[in-house]
């Protein structure tokens, strides 16, 4: 019986200098979250402020994966920057919705939609004018 050689695959591309598109494939759980975190930390270290997390090939994510997403979200906001989840699978979307993560971290259906949100943040709270 063959055993999966790489339980998690993470590919990073740069649609723009300050934007990292992080494409994740495989289970995002306690066994793989550290690897995912290392990729994100590396991109933060190299000056990326916006993170597009393509989760379309992630069939399962537990609290470890959500924790990493929320941590990078907090770090990116302080830069200021942003985090966007792209095309989560139905199981992952359900977890994001049940835990409220999808309320905090924007979910987009495509890279183009996420880039549009980077350019025109609509979810940012409006500050009252004096």
- Residue bearing tokens 């949100």: 117
Question: Which run of H or E residues covers position 73?
Answer: helix 63-78
pTM of the predicted model as reported, rounded to 2 decimal places? 0.85
Q: Tens digits of per-residue pLDDT, 86-115?
A: 999 999 999 999 999 999 999 999 999 999
Q: Tens digits of per-residue pLDDT, 108-130?
A: 999 999 999 999 886 444 443 44
Dihedral sign computed on CA atoms, order 92, 97, 100, 102: positive
Instruction: Give the side-chain half-sphere CA count within 13 A for 119.
Output: 8
Name the burial class of residue 21, with classes exposed (0-12), middle (13-18) and buried (19+) by CB atoms within 10 angstroms of its CB. buried
Class of domain 8-117: alpha beta
Coil/strand/helix, residue 12: strand
């Amino acid at each position: 019986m063959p055993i999966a050689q790489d339980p998690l695959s993470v590919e990073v591309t740069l649609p723009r200098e300050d934007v990292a598109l992080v494409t994740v494939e495989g289970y995002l759980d306690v066994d793989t979250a550290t690897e995912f975190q290392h990729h994100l930390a590396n991109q933060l270290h190299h000056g990326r402020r916006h993170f597009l997390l393509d989760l379309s090939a992630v069939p399962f994510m537990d609290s470890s994966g959500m924790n990493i997403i929320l941590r990078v979200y907090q770090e990116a906001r302080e830069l200021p920057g942003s985090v966007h989840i792209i095309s989560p699978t139905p199981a992952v979307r359900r977890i994001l919705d049940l835990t409220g993560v999808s309320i905090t971290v924007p979910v987009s259906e495509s890279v183009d939609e996420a880039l549009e949100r980077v350019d025109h943040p609509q979810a940012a709270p409006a500050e009252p004018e004096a």
